[in-house]
Amino acid sequence: MHETDMTKALILTVRDWLAEQPGHPAIEKVHLTVGEFTCVEPASLQFAFDAQTQGTFLDGAELVIEETPLIAFCHRCQQEYRPEVGLQYACVSCQSPMDDIRSGRELRIGRVEFSQKAPSQETPRKTPSQETSYAPNI
């Protein structure tokens, strides 16, 4: 279950970012890009995210996963092609090895969406550094 570790990494990255922001923004969505040619299963990641963010500053935030397809470029044919994961990786036209991957290796936190309360309405709230319910061990 390396998705658990990946989720921890995700939470820590967002927490570090949040700690540098003025005010107390509330994270609403986290956008993640997951390539087809990685060892990550988006459904497991979604499950891990929902479970591991409970009771933390990300509780209730939505994880939006964009999946990117595996696309390779064949230098001999000078064209892109779509390898079939599990079956065929060499160029479909000339059988050259899959040397150049153009898409599908992404594991990237793209952007976050957050809301900022107006200062007058602000209610006291724990800052991320004071969170005690999430104790990462990575």
94 binds another protein (CB under 8 A): no
User: Hey, what amino acid is at 10?
Assistant: L
∠ CA 3-131-8, nearest 5°, is 10
Whether 71 and 103 have beta carbons less than 8 Å apart is answered as yes
Examine residue 28 and tell whether it contacts another protein (CB under 8 A).
Answer: yes
**Using rule CB under 8 A, residue 74 touches another protein:** no
Size of the chain in residues: 138
**Which span (46-54, 59-67, 84-92, 126-134) binds another protein, by CB under 8 A?**
84-92
| Amino acid at residue number 43 | A
The site for another protein, by CB under 8 A, has a size of 38
DSSP state of 61: P
State the residues that interact with another protein by CB under 8 A. Answer: 1-2, 5-6, 9-10, 12-14, 17, 25, 28, 32, 37-40, 85-90, 97-99, 107-116, 118, 138
